[in-house]
Structure 1
Amino acid sequence: MKKIHSTFAEAVAAIQDGATIMVGGFGLVGIPENLIVALAETGVKELTVISNNCGVDDWGLGLLLANRQIRKIVASYVGENKQFERQALAGELEVELLPQGTLAEKIRAGGAGIPAFYTPAGVGTPLEEGKESRVFGGKTYLLEEALTADFALIRAYEADIYGNLSYNKTARNFNPIMATAGRVTIAETEQLVEAGRLDADRIHTPGVFVHSLIVGAQQKRVEKLTVANQAEAGGGSR
């Protein structure tokens, strides 16, 4: 049985200044939003964050950016976050941007215990600077090192008391691979059930990778809202 936290503050209490954390999600989908809020409230700083993107100005990892708690971010997408853009352009934030597939594979490799791999992504671009390259079958590949983290903060739809996790559709995204690559994985879940209640075929992350759990409801905010007027949508008055 996994440790089940009673508060989000307790769940993130072990994260200290200078820690490296992986944070699941794609845009605002599948982010461990309550864990992020709790981490923002701790005031820990000099964090290295590994995530697909950095939320929006007032939600998700954008809260940590606004508090100046992030020293470096490893991501594939700047997204809708103006604070991210401003801090990066001002040299206040160290940013490592990677092709999305490369980022995913670096995390997956880290969780699988594979120290590095070769990929054609980035060949002939500034990304190849300082990286070893080799030719296989007449094609050039770059050596990319795997990524791991001190902590992985992830979001699940359902969990059982042994830490087995199930994700809801596209909210799965980066969460399963990050769960394997964190030395300590903390899972935020919408529902917690007894052992045996999860369909074995729907378990996406085995409990062996999860260290602790906490239950929390999601706000499910919209990252970018686009509204069409009635005429454009074909619904004008007659």
Structure 2
Amino acid sequence: QYDDVMNQQRKIVYGMRKEILSSESQSELLEDFMYFLAEGLSVDYGHDKTATDDWNWDELNRSLQAVFHPEMSISSADVKKSGIAGLSEALFEKLKGRFAAKKEELGQFMPEVEKMFSLSTIDQLWKDHLKAMDHLREGIGLRGYAQKDPLLEYKKESFLMFKMMDAQIKQEVIAKILNVHLAPQQEEAAIERFEEKMERDVPITMSHGDAEDQPKEPVRAEPKIGRNDPCFCGSGKKYKNCHGR
């Protein structure tokens, strides 16, 4: 049952990776990433019951400039609709605008740059996640001494860890692409090195050595749990009526 949790996560990651490898352009996937990031920032900095002029724009802009691009900024004038939804829409447009400028700057190299950063980031963070999951599994047995179900605790914590990894992948991929600057000769050399590496590394093993059950088709899924979704514990109850209470 512990392995089932890892296999489900591996299939999601492998599906994302396979889709990137098989697609000439990552535009649609990366727009999904930007939409996700805009939603997250809007929840952190926006308010439905407070006027936009009263929001902490300085803190939001410091965050945007530290994470995405030193010249990126937003103000209340950019928000056309009220509340969190309005801020999310404005942030999404800002990210798309910055991304379009980078695409124009890199020209023909943009598709390979997108693929290079997407795959390398997924691979590195997945490896880090595997190590963290190993540590979690090693220590989870101690929960039994505290009258907690070790398997249930493992499912719950591994789900949260996977969500964090997923969010980090999206943020790092977009940030790396927006901040890349290569001279023409560097662009070609970097892409050649990446393509050589991919020829050596693919297919990579996305788990602890067992790749037999890799999915035949790409899996597009994000680890989200809603109030009306089935609970992660496998009880069959809705999350809101089980561990979401």
Give TM-score, length-normalised by structure 2: 0.24
Which has the larger helix fraction?
2
Question: Highest CA radius of gyration, 1 or 2?
Answer: 2
Q: Under a length normalisation based on structure 1, what TM-score does the superposition of the two structures give?
A: 0.24
Structure with more strand by fraction = 1
